[in-house]
Copies of this chain bind each other. A is one copy, B any other.
Amino acid sequence: MSGGSLTHLDETGAARMVDVSEKDVTRREAVATGNVTMRAETLEAILAGQIKKGDVFATARIAGIMAAKRTHDLIPLCHPLPVSSVKVEIEPDRNLPGLTVTATVGVDSKTGVEMEALTAASVACLTIYDMAKAVERGMVVGDIRLLAKSGGRSGDWQAGAAE
């Protein structure tokens, strides 16, 4: 009968927020990055402050910081964390061409802030898209990834090093 097997499937596949209560409270930090690729003219329009919606840099930075604080409200199995620092940096890259976002999040907690850093970078990129989309709808958000994390039982991690 289908009910029985479905229930069994549920038991093995059921989403749950894993228990972190046995982990130690330590200082943890995570750095994530992402970018928005666009036409050279769009980048120049942003850098010249010609975007009609307003200041792209300031708006994207604040959106990223606020998103970091809401990560547990967006990602279903993330733990709520009392983040102690959030920094979102945005740099133009004429080779891309586009903007590169770097988000750094710190916390003293039982679990890490990788998702907070990735969420901050993603939402800052989406905000850049929103600000400039009247100029170019074809912009692409990409390369959102963890650069480094420190603290916690699993120790430090650097992108590119063997896992």
Contact = CB atoms under 8 A, between A and B. Distances in A.
Contact of A145 (B14, B49, B78, B138): B138
B140 A143 contact: yes
Interface string A41-82: 000100111001111011101110111011011111111111
A132 to B, nearest CB: 11
Contacts of A115: 126, 129-130, 133
Given A85-B18, A110-B84, A63 B79 contact: no
A69 B131 CA distance: 18
B118 A47 contact: no
Contact of A10 (B57, B70, B123, B149): B57
A44 B29 CA distance: 30
A94 B7 CA distance: 13
Interface of A: 2-3, 6-7, 10, 12-21, 27, 34, 44, 47-49, 52-55, 57-59, 61-63, 65-67, 69-70, 72-92, 94, 106-110, 114-115, 118-119, 122-123, 125-127, 129-131, 133, 136-146, 149, 157, 159-160, 163
